[in-house]
Each structure stands twice: as C-alpha cells, then as structure tokens.
Structure 1
C-alpha cells in the first residue's frame, strides 16, 4: 500500500519542525548503512512499503549487496538485518543495547496496552520482572503439564474438521484459543462458538485494525497529535471500541477466575496461581501483572500459532508428496488409524522435520518484533544511531538460497540428513533477550495438531466448476503475523470408521 497525498501532507506539516531539528547532517566518521536515497523533508517515507515489507527489505539488500539496510523516516532511523550473522551479532551478542522496544504509539497510547502486554515493554526492570514470571510458566519442564489440555483440543479439532471441513481455518483458531484459554485461565471452551474465545477474537481484531490503519503513526509518532477528523487519522475514533474490547477480555476473564477462587471451584491455571499469590498489601503493579500476564499469554500466541497451522494445511495441499511421506511414516511406525501422542515425537523424524520446515517456509512473524537501540553503535564500518528501530528480517534469513536451496519450496527432508542438514529455524521465535518465552508451548501445540491431522485426513485441492483440481495460490497476508490468504480445500477422512474413532478419542 502506498501513502496517499493527504497522509504525506500530514506527515510533512506536523513533523516539519521536529525534522529540521533532528535531520542534521551526521557529524560522524562512519556512514549510515546503505539504503535508498532519502528525500528532503520526508526522508524515505515514500520508499518504505506497507505491504510485504520483508520482501522489499530483502530486495534492497540484494540489490545493494549488503546484509544490513537503512532508511530514515523524518528523524526516525530504521535498520533491517537481512542475514543471520548480522542479527546474531547485534541482537544477541550486543543484546545489552539492542533489547529495548520502540514505543508503538498506536498500541501504547490509543489501546493503552503498553503497560500490560509484555511484548511491548521497554527493556528494564519491569520487563525483567514480568519476563521472569512469564518464563516460570512457560519453561520446557513446565509446559509438559499442559499437554493433556493440548491433546484434548487436538482431538476436538479433528471432530470439527470431520463435521464441517469447509470451516477449517476457524476450527484451527478455535483449537489454539481453547488451549490458551485453558492454560491461562483454567476455562474449558465450548466445542464451537465459545463466548470467551469470541472476546479474544474481538480484541485481536482491534489490535489488527489498529496496527494496519495506524502504521504510519507508529513510524512517525508525531502524527499522533493530529485530531481524529484530519485525513488519515479517523481510525483514532474507532480505537475507543478496540481498547474497550481488549480490556473486556483481559479484565472479564480475570474476574471470572477470581469468582471461582472465592467459591472454591477454581481449576489450576496461570491466572489462578497468580491471583492466589496476591494479598491485601499487593501493589497496583502486582495486581496488573496478575491481570496482564495471563492476558498476554492468552492473546499474544493465538495469531501466530493459528497462522502456522493454517499454513500447514496450505503446504499439505500444495505439496502432496510431503503429505504422503509423513502419513506413511505415521502408519508404518504407529499403525494406520492410530492418533499420535506426545510420546511419539522422537519416533517420527520426518514429521519433526516437517514442523521445522513449516516454521521456515511460512514463518509466522516475518519481521519479528522491532528492537530499539539504546546507544550509538558501529557495525562493519556503519554508524547506527541510538534510538534506531531495528528489525531482523526473519523471512529473508530463512529464505536465503545459500542456506536453504530452493527456499520457496516446502521440503522437510532438508532437515533430515545429519551430514548435510540445513540449520534449524529456531530464530523464528526471535533473538537475544527478547526471544519469545512461549516458544516451547507453541512448538508442542503445532507438532501435536500436525500429527493428528495427518493421521486422520487427506488434504486435497478444491475443484473448479469442471471438477478439475484447483490448487490454491502460495500466498500469505501482509501483516505483523502472516498466515495464508484464505483458501479452499478438500479435507477427506483417511481412516476407517472415522466417526466412531473420533468420538472414542474425545472420551479419552
């Protein structure tokens, strides 16, 4: 999407004075990293795309011949790292100065989420305290206790796919929401149309709308001073509804758990554990953490995990040979009709490789979350000023043909040969001190859902009006979290007596 003339005019008008002060010629012996030539007043505002930014930044680097590229947006420096080496050198080895977050004004001011959504926290004592509490509930030894919840949700997903296969994208989101709701709040979601998951979806739709409509305001924060009636700023009026939906979800679920504790009928959950630790002397910050941490766990992972599993269905439709090989492995090792459990993970190496390939081929967060540099830095002869917004282009790294030959193709076998295997795509979850603490939980959920879907169903292309196969496009949405563009397919049971088998599985 390109900027409209009114948006460019607004950026110029409001930011002129700030720009004059900030856009001084850099008196430094080292240059900025290479990038498009900036224009007077607006810098690179016209160069930075709002659609598929990861593709554009990868192209810049390839054309310039640099694994680090730079743009300037009215005094705001944007630096993109297109190689794993650059990302590791800066975001991991120099994490003490690259672990901050830029303040995304749409989220922090309009949605008031900056004080309780841990992903948005600046690097500091509050982040350390909350991160420690988050990790305490998400470390590898702890997430194993969530596996019965994940297994129950995976079985329910199979039934929903059997019952209404055309709604597979909604069923996947419901499964992820069901697991997150149970782990965070101890609430067992209804099989379909659960009101608590509906609350979460309304909240997430608000976040998506705010981030989409307010992208220029995040890049040029001074535009937040514009009144709602100014061209391009009308979404600020809608933000009141989005903020209300987010807080209804967070506070409503917190109060529901408090009631179950008061009535001595609470189910173990992260929220119940944190509320139990509160006392009459608890500070406002401690109470906010008991509300916000379960809320972050519930909301933050739904989009990314759902996107990964929806991309999995797309991959199975587009790459039937990979689907067949995974199904043959399940049938030969576990038996045809057997529904996999977590204990089967190591016995299914191709399926494990398929999960790695999925996270590489369709990485859910192509640019990750932005980092903010807190001190001036020099890297490979380039000057990166303090305050720069720094992105790791995860998509570009995981689609580098030098590391992953034929990167656009879905080829799980690239991770199987111990002699020549490609490196595992662990960077899907971020870098350094800001790596996603929920990654172990997410991997468990993705693997189990994949294994059970493959054991139970064949995923085939939809058919056109003449009855011929009509494969979907290998296309993904342009957003912070990127899943496949909605598509149609045929989901066909592949095990005998599927209805009876699924009903029995639901009773386990």
Structure 2
C-alpha cells in the first residue's frame, strides 16, 4: 500500500466500525437522554465546543428542558448532569457502576501517569488500595497535624505580598507549593523561586500540554502506535519530554527523602512514612505507591488550590463590600493588625461563608473529573450504555439561579441566614467514591490563606495610564482546572508597620 491508501483504508475501517456500532445501539428499547441532533457516523463532533464546555452543556439542558443531556462522538457516548439531583442519583446512589474513570490514552500510555496519579486510576482493587493509603494521610483527624506547616506558609505569603505585591499570582502558587512540598516530602522550600516547586510546575505544564493534545488521541486511539512523523501523531515525540518532566519531579524528591532517612535527618512526611514502611520483600507496586502518593500530593494539589486563591483576590477587587465586611469581622474579633489562625475560625462566620461562596462562585473544576459507566443502566427512562463518559456540570449546578439567586455575584451572606441560607456547595470536591480524599486539607489551606490576606491587605483595582481605576474582567481560563485569567490589582497593607508585625506574628507561631 502507498502512504495515502493506508490512510484511506484506516479511515474506511473506522467508519464501518462506527456504523455497525450505531446500528446495534439503536436496537435498545429505551431512548438515550435528550441532546442535540448529531450527524451520521460522527454524531455531535461538530457541536462540542473547543472551550468552556460547561457553558454549552448548561445551555443545551436549558433549551431542551432536561437536567441530563446526551451527545455522541464517533460512537463514544457522553452524558452531562446539569443538576445536583441527577449527579447525586447517578454518581453517589449508583456509585458502584459510576466510579470508574476513562483511560485517557496520552496520560496513561505515553506519560505513564495513569499508573501512579490516583485521580486517573480506573475503579478496581488498585484504586482501593491506593485510596486507602492516601486517605490514611489526609483524613479529617489527620489533616489538623499539617496546620503548623500551613500557618508558616501563609505568613510567608504575606511577607512576599508586602515586598512585591504585583507578583501576587506567583506568590500564591509558591505558598501552595511550599505546603505540598513539606507535607509530601518534609522539605522546606526556599522563600522564593524554590527549584523543587519549579520542577512540580514544569510537571504540571507537561500534564496540561498532554491533556490538550489528548483530545484527538482519545477519539483516534490508534494514532498512539504511529511514528511521530505520521500526520496527527506528532505528540508521540513531545510525550517523551513530558514524561521525563513528570517523573523527574516525582523520583527526584523521593530519592532526596531516601537520602535524608539514611542520614537520619528526615522529618515526618508522607514520603518518609511510605519509605519507612517498605522492606526488602516489597513488591514493585508497593514501591510505586511509595513514590506515587507523595508525588500526587505535591504535583496535582498545586493547581486547584492556587486557582481558588487567585479567584479570591479577584472577588475582593470586584466586590469591595464583601471585602469590607470580612475585614470588619476580623477586626472586631481579633483587633486591627492581628493575624488569624485556625483557632479563630469558629468566631468568624462571615469568613466561613466567604469560603463557601468562593468555591461556588469560582469552582476550580467546572466539569469535575469524568466518570465512566461500567454497566448498561436506565435513569428516568433513559438508556445510558456501559462505557459512557459522565460529567457532573458543577459550574451549572452552582450557578442555578433557583438555588443561588444572582448566581454570578459574589455574595457570602447567602450562606448566613438560618431561615433562607443556600445549601453549602460540597460538590466542588467531587462525588461518591471518587470524592477528593484531600478536601479537608485543601479547605483548611484556602481558608487560612484568604483570612490572613484579608486581615493584612486591602485589594483594589489597578489604575490605567490616566490614573483611573481599571477593574479586571470576570473571565476565567477554559481548562479542566479553571482560574481567573492573569489580571492586575493594587494591594495595600492594612497593618501599621507591616513588616515588623509580620515578623512578630511569625515568631509567635
């Protein structure tokens, strides 16, 4: 065959396979959930947007009048749940068949990440064993032991914001990286530009690049077997670099902890605990778990938490009344110029409401991680076949105007009135058996950082060339983990003699 005829042959075989699949599926007695009408063979391939999928899926449901919508792409079924009831009915009440993950080819095959990043695991015995080990380090009774580390990082964040407030986005990511580095590996980060945090950032960038390229591979998985020079298969060459970046961050830090243990200078951490539990008889899987669990904590946790805190700064700039009310509560409870710690949380109800509203208004994962149905099943008279990808449209649920009036406004008070308060948005961290096991740790870190920033600084719009306030847009990045697009603001200290006050607070802690 010539090069051109080989392509034609593969394309023809694919079309015939999809045609047979579609004809067989049409024999089922129950209809698929409603959705946009697709084209023969390719289905709704032309209807799926390249960006901000959650907006489109919410629009489909609103126009169709259904809280569950269906699309089909080249024989692959996609179901989106636009209400909390539908998400709860399927992902929680039927979690036995909706706890699987689709195997994202480029992440599992080319990056090998699906072999050690817990969130990507298919549902099964390996996931259960790793989840149990992860939960042992992140359960609610354990999470408080990390609070001194979080407090130290929060104080460092304030110090960095005082010195170079224009770099606030970088400082926020450094704070999260500092905490994850300490918790996962027991390693203290440098005050700025820490090389270990930089390695994790590079790993994250590699995963993001891989996810972008994975779209075509998930639709045409046979491309994984083609050489890099084949049209559409160029990512095979790039993936070698991505894989190296990801594994360098994981393995380099693991080896550092091994040396620290050998030299009797290691401090308590997830990696130290995992390594200490190994023996000469440990299996390859047990060794991989000892590397993979701390690696997941350090690499994966940075993005979601830092996006939430960047959104907090944006909310404070755009909603000065909410900022003022939060600062008044802090000043009335602690006194002006004093910084909060975890012990103060119970006396700060408005700050707690701000955390709820932040996770609702700017949910870091608008569509959550995809679930996969492992069995054919019927829901409300609709047929959902095995293998269907199921997404909970968290953004749509948390912006439902019936549940949350004026959903696009940042209004923490919606969670304060005992008689009319809105439901707390717990679904931000996932559903059912695949709910994030580190959610208590993440909530602690977000609350502490935003409470300290609010006590120490005032957040104002930046000014344009003519000195007029230039508020940032309320625009977010279109990605699996979504945060505000880069923006500028003015950050002014509220504490008299701020540097000295921060130093005193740090010494007291």
TM over 0.5: yes
Alignment-derived partner of residue 161 in structure 1? 161
Alignment-derived partner of residue 52 in structure 1? 52
Alignment-derived partner of residue 14 in structure 2? 15
Once residues 62 and 47 of structure 2 are traced to their aligned partners in structure 1, the CA distance between those partners, rounded to angstroms, is 16
1:361-389 CA deviation, whole Å, 9 max, x = no partner? 00000000000000001001100000000
1:463-494 CA deviation, whole Å, 9 max, x = no partner? 00110000000000000000000000001001
Tell me, yes or no, if the aligned pair for 1:15 and 1:223 is still in contact at 8 Å: no
Which range moves more in the overlay, 128-137 or 223-232? 223-232
Once residues 96 and 10 of structure 1 are traced to their aligned partners in structure 2, the CA distance between those partners, rounded to angstroms, is 40
Q: Are 1:205 and 2:202 matched, yes or no?
A: no
Which range moves more in the overlay, 293-302 or 211-220? 211-220
Tell me, yes or no, if the aligned pair for 2:104 and 2:214 is still in contact at 8 Å: no
Tell me, yes or no, if the aligned pair for 1:15 and 1:222 is still in contact at 8 Å: no
Tell me, yes or no, if the aligned pair for 2:224 and 2:236 is still in contact at 8 Å: no
**Helix, strand or coil at the partner of 1:188:** coil
Alignment-derived partner of residue 418 in structure 1? 418
Tell me, yes or no, if the aligned pair for 1:355 and 1:447 is still in contact at 8 Å: yes
Which range moves more in the overlay, 70-79 or 222-231? 222-231
Once residues 194 and 418 of structure 1 are traced to their aligned partners in structure 2, the CA distance between those partners, rounded to angstroms, is 45
Alignment-derived partner of residue 33 in structure 2? 33
1:377-388 paired onto structure 2 within 5 Å: 377-388=377-388
**Helix, strand or coil at the partner of 1:32:** coil
Normalised TM-score (structure 2): 0.96
1:115-130 paired onto structure 2 within 5 Å: 115-130=115-130
Shift of 1:225: 4.1
Query: Does the C-alpha gap of structure 1 residues 232 and 317 become closer, same or farther in structure 2, counting only changes over 3 Å?
Result: farther
Shift of 1:418: 0.9
Once residues 192 and 13 of structure 1 are traced to their aligned partners in structure 2, the CA distance between those partners, rounded to angstroms, is 55
Alignment-derived partner of residue 322 in structure 2? 322
1:133-212 paired onto structure 2 within 5 Å: 133-212=133-212
Shift of 1:210: 0.8
Tell me, yes or no, if the aligned pair for 1:74 and 1:220 is still in contact at 8 Å: no
Alignment-derived partner of residue 364 in structure 2? 364
Shift of 1:270: 0.5
Tell me, yes or no, if the aligned pair for 2:82 and 2:393 is still in contact at 8 Å: yes
Once residues 13 and 302 of structure 2 are traced to their aligned partners in structure 1, the CA distance between those partners, rounded to angstroms, is 37
Shift of 1:236: 2.6
**Helix, strand or coil at the partner of 2:115:** coil
Tell me, yes or no, if the aligned pair for 1:375 and 1:386 is still in contact at 8 Å: yes
Alignment-derived partner of residue 436 in structure 1? 436
1:115-158 CA deviation, whole Å, 9 max, x = no partner? 10010111010000000000010011101000000000000000
RMSD: 1.5
**Helix, strand or coil at the partner of 2:472:** coil
Tell me, yes or no, if the aligned pair for 2:475 and 2:485 is still in contact at 8 Å: yes
Alignment-derived partner of residue 445 in structure 1? 445
Alignment-derived partner of residue 307 in structure 1? 307
Once residues 477 and 118 of structure 1 are traced to their aligned partners in structure 2, the CA distance between those partners, rounded to angstroms, is 24
Tell me, yes or no, if the aligned pair for 1:10 and 1:223 is still in contact at 8 Å: no
Alignment-derived partner of residue 221 in structure 1? 221
Alignment-derived partner of residue 473 in structure 2? 473
1:51-96 CA deviation, whole Å, 9 max, x = no partner? 0001110001001111001111111101100000000000000000
Shift of 1:10: 12
Tell me, yes or no, if the aligned pair for 1:160 and 1:171 is still in contact at 8 Å: yes
**Helix, strand or coil at the partner of 1:286:** helix
Tell me, yes or no, if the aligned pair for 1:311 and 1:358 is still in contact at 8 Å: yes
Shift of 1:213: 2.5
Shift of 1:38: 1.3
**Helix, strand or coil at the partner of 1:77:** strand
Shift of 1:18: 3.2
Shift of 1:176: 0.3
**Helix, strand or coil at the partner of 2:441:** helix
Shift of 1:215: 2.0
Tell me, yes or no, if the aligned pair for 1:11 and 1:223 is still in contact at 8 Å: no
Q: Are 1:104 and 2:104 matched, yes or no?
A: yes
Once residues 93 and 219 of structure 1 are traced to their aligned partners in structure 2, the CA distance between those partners, rounded to angstroms, is 30
Once residues 506 and 208 of structure 1 are traced to their aligned partners in structure 2, the CA distance between those partners, rounded to angstroms, is 36
Normalised TM-score (structure 1): 0.96
Once residues 169 and 315 of structure 1 are traced to their aligned partners in structure 2, the CA distance between those partners, rounded to angstroms, is 14
Shift of 1:17: 4.0
Tell me, yes or no, if the aligned pair for 2:257 and 2:272 is still in contact at 8 Å: yes
Once residues 430 and 191 of structure 2 are traced to their aligned partners in structure 1, the CA distance between those partners, rounded to angstroms, is 33
Which range moves more in the overlay, 35-44 or 498-507? 498-507
Shift of 1:429: 0.3
Once residues 251 and 273 of structure 1 are traced to their aligned partners in structure 2, the CA distance between those partners, rounded to angstroms, is 16
Shift of 1:227: 3.9
Alignment-derived partner of residue 244 in structure 2? 244
- Unmatched tracts of structure 1, length 5 or more: 1-8
Shift of 1:50: 2.1
1:209-233 CA deviation, whole Å, 9 max, x = no partner? 1112322323443443454334443
Once residues 16 and 229 of structure 2 are traced to their aligned partners in structure 1, the CA distance between those partners, rounded to angstroms, is 22
1:16-44 CA deviation, whole Å, 9 max, x = no partner? 24323322242111100111111122111
Alignment-derived partner of residue 5 in structure 2? none
Alignment-derived partner of residue 346 in structure 1? 346
**Helix, strand or coil at the partner of 2:199:** helix
